Structure 1
Amino acid sequence: MSDTLSTRALNRAMLDRQLLLRPSKMTALQAVEHLAGLQAQAPNPPYFALWTRLHDFRQEDLANLLLDKSVVRIALMRSTVHLVTSSDALAWRPVMQPVYDRSMYNTQFTPEIKDFDHQEIGRFTRKLLGERPLSSGELGAELMKHWEGAGRSALVHVARAMVPLVQIPPRGVWGKSGQPTFQTIEDWLGAEPDATPSPDRMFRRYLAAFGPATVQDVQAWAGITKLGEVAERLRPELRTFRDENGRELFDLEDAPRPDPDTPAPARLLGPFDQTVLSYADRTRVISDEYRKVVITQNGLVKGTILIDGSVKGFWDIKVMKKAATLSITPFERVPKRDLDALESSAHRLLAWAHPKAETHSVQVVL
């Protein structure tokens, strides 16, 4: 019979693997790989994610990895943009192809694109991007010249689904601006995506970064189905547990599972932090009630505060003229020692994120 892991035990395992129990001395590249990529729907969240986790992280540590192509911004898990190592992008994008194939028939654009030859749109996209990188608007405009009856966004949706596209710099480089500009992964990295994609390897990588977890958790993170078949193939080499609701959890044999009483420091998590997005059952880190406040109806995810390992509020930064202010909004009473720790972290974060501001201030909104 499988051992039972409490919600608190799952929380501490997650915090350990997500580098949130103590600052890590990993390099930025090592951390991106260890964390199985970072949420990157907006340009800056990956920087906040690494600031929270790494010892003495500097913006240029990640920006240089984008510029030298060690990491890329690419739509992967759940069809959302992630920042991952180049090797993971080449290995994982083919695993995600079923997600994109389904998106041809379950999207708002389906009426516009259902009668088109999607493969032909993909081939033409490759031809266009082989000549020069194109912004989303430029790519859509070129496609509209050849496929009448569909809007620009609908055609870009097809192109993005049929062809692995990376968002090239300066997009994603700290302090730089620029709309998403696409290049095929083959042209950008000079390498082909994995010809023998392995959901098994991806399943193990998820467990290393987020486990122990149910099959449903892995599917929620990846956005792909039928991973129960993967779990069964891997079962002989994995450990299994049960959660407090009796659901089966899978984990790597030698993965860290700290004592549930391990202290968890107060933390500021950045916007779109993956800890609140990567499970079907997220109660190990955030209550269903608080999740509705943190994740807005239009899909934005606020920066959050962790108290004893769980989300207990949110934070945001406002910059007006030359004054930068970080506001902390707890959902409930926070112990003074944790509030002091959060305020100290907030001052360091402001100095890191807005060094040119003449004044930095932190306020707690009660």
Structure 2
Amino acid sequence: MTVLGPRALNRATLARQFLLDRTDAPALDVLTHLCGMQAQEPQEPFTGLWSRVRSFRPADLDALLTGREAVRTHLMRRTVHLMAAGDALAWRARHDTMLRGRVLTTYRDELAGLDPEEVAAAGREAMADGLPRTMAGLVDAVADRFPGRPRRPLGELLVAALVPMAQLPPRGLWRARAGVRNLPLATWLGREVTPPPPDGSDPVGRDLVRRYLAAYGPAASADLRAWCGLTGLPAAVKAVREELVTFRDTRGRELLDLPGAPRPDPDTPAPVRFLPAFDNAILGYQDRGRIIDDAHRGLSVAGERVALVDGRVSATWTMAAGTLVVTPLRSLTRAELDDVTEEGRSLARFLTDGTDDRVRVLTPGGPAH
């Protein structure tokens, strides 16, 4: 069986994530291909799309959200994701058990003895008037039915697990500073969440396997599980296995992939790319060694924005007083510094609506570049 090293896996990931070459595809098509984007920090998907889509404009994403073609909702790993509306409706029921289990486990003491079905019914009744509510407002509407229960756990159970919710604009719009207002997903999108099939089959699970590999493969079953948070996918993997090709990584893990998916030459040059906080190009794997060193793995869950140099996480970045500040995690060559600066200027112009392109690169042990 062919062994794929970290560099081969890196280039495959970059190609499928549109980080090796930007795409001209519309933002909705990119969002669909990526199986959504993690988005608990509302402004971060703008950078994620800018790094992947040529000529991306913030208005493109704003239009998708206000036009209800994309939606912010709790899904994979119980995190807020920016999803194509059709995927959110099709996949939500498949995630219900995981979402419920994670909230009930997190708040096992606070929610002990509570009947989730009774809470869900109360939440749906409270939202039946079609008016958006904050989590606090929803808790206010049901609290008298569950006296003595802590507000935060009860609210999270409702909005993140029991009642499929959309987070409404203006939250998630370009430069908007808006709190979360929730409305049932079906109400906002005008279509019901797709129910599980009555025959017990798992078409969504099979779709998730194929879609994940198209955007993240080659990957192990453990990577798939880490990405979506679902534990019940072995049967789905088994059902589509004959469609797939297999490899090994240098740890001996079996990797699954779609036969025609891109697997570029490991020596393919990789341009500098700036990623937002919590980008799934990093978080979408159990073994993240293809893109980030173990020594820096904590950055991927700490909300640090990172820069890829030669395809790997090699710096963090932030905006400070209109200047893009880059902090390398290793010594960069002069050519790499120049590439980081050039791409950083483009990003700075994007983030400042074209008013500034200042970049400050801090070199390890030396002055800024």
| Aligned equivalents of 1:361, 1:328: Cα separation in 2 | 11
Q: Which residue of 2 aligns with 1:218?
A: 224
Identity %: 38
* Structure 1 letter corresponding to 2:169: P
Q: Secondary structure at the match of 1:120?
A: helix
Compare 202-211 and 269-278 and name the one that shifted more: 269-278
Q: For residue 162 of structure 1, what is the aligned residue in structure 2? A: 162
Q: Aligned residue pairs: how many?
A: 355
TM-superposed CA distance for 1:73, in Å, is: 0.3
| Cα distance in 1 for residues equivalent to 2:104 and 2:187 | 28
Seen in structure 2, the aligned counterparts of structure 1 residues 104 and 29 have a Cα distance that, compared at 3 Å, is closer
User: What amino acid is aligned across from residue 271 of structure 1 in structure 2?
Assistant: A
Q: Secondary structure at the match of 2:224?
A: helix
Deviation at 1:104, TM superposition (A): 4.7
What is the DSSP-based 3-state SS (H/G/I as helix, E as strand, rest coil) of the residue aligned with 2:8? helix
**Are the equivalent residues in 2 in contact too, given 1:12–1:258 (CA < 8 A)?**
yes
Paired with 1:177 and 1:286, the residues of 2 have a C-alpha distance of 31
CA–CA separation in structure 2 for the residues paired with 1:356 and 1:331: 28
CA offset digits 1:119-166 (Å, max 9, x no partner): 111112112222111011211222223211112111112212111111
Shift of 1:174: 0.8
Pairing 1:53-202 to 2, within 5 Å after superposition: 53-107=52-106, 109-131=107-129, 132-160=131-159, 161-195=161-195, 196=197, 198-202=204-208
Gaps of 5+ in 2: 198-202, 364-369
2:303 is aligned to 301
From 276, 281, 296, the equivalent of 2:282 is: 276
Deviation at 1:226, TM superposition (A): 3.2
Match of 1:318 in 2: 320
- 1:271-300 CA-partner distances (Å, limit 9, x unpaired): 2211110100000000110122x24xxx43
- The AA in structure 1 aligned to 2:302 is L
Q: More displaced, 346-355 or 26-35?
A: 346-355
Provide TM-score, normalisation by structure 2. 0.93
Deviation at 1:338, TM superposition (A): 2.0
Aligned to 2:236: 230
**How much does 1:105 deviate?**
3.6
CA deviation vs aligned residue, 1:308-333 (integer Å, no higher than 9, x gap): 111011101113xxxx0111111111
2:277 and 2:304 in contact (8 A); partners too: yes
Structure 1 segment 236-275 matched on structure 2, within 5 A: 236-275=242-281
Separation of aligned partners in 2, 1:300 and 1:67: 30
* Code of the aligned partner of 1:111: D
CA contact (8 A) 1:327 1:364 kept: yes
**Distance in 1 between the 2:152 and 2:357 partners?**
40
Match in the other structure for 1:362 = 359
The one-character-per-residue Cα deviations of 1:40-83 (angstroms, maximum 9, x if unpaired) are: 01111111100011101000000110000000000100000000
Letter in 2 for 1:141: D
Structure 1 residue 360, shift from structure 2 partner: 4.5
Residue 336 of structure 2 is matched in structure 1 by 338
Asked whether the 8 Å contact 1:112–1:149 carries over to 2, the reply is no
Please state whether the residue corresponding to 1:306 is helix, strand or coil. strand
Deviation at 1:302, TM superposition (A): 1.1
| 1:143 and 1:155 in contact (8 A); partners too | no
SS across alignment from 1:250: strand
How far, CA to CA, are the matches of 1:206 and 1:165 in structure 2? 23
Moved more, 230-239 or 50-59: 230-239
Structure 1 counterpart of 2:87, which letter?
D
C-alpha distance after superposition, 1:196-224 (max 9, x if no partner): 36211011100000000000000000001
Task: Identify which range, 142-151 or 198-207, moves more after superposition.
Answer: 142-151
Q: Secondary structure at the match of 2:49?
A: helix
Distance 1:308 1:348 in 2: 18
- Which is worse superposed, 49-58 or 192-201? 192-201
Q: 1:99–1:224: 8 Å Cα contact kept in structure 2? A: yes
CA distance in 2, matches of 1:237, 1:356: 47
Q: Which moved more, 1:22-31 or 1:65-74?
A: 22-31
| Unmatched tracts of structure 1, length 5 or more | none
| Counterpart-to-counterpart distance in 2, 1:44 and 1:188 | 21
Work out the CA distance in 2 between the residues paired with 1:310 and 1:301: 17
Deviations 1:172-202 (A, max 9, x none): 0112221111011111111111123621101
Give me the CA root mean square deviation: 1.4
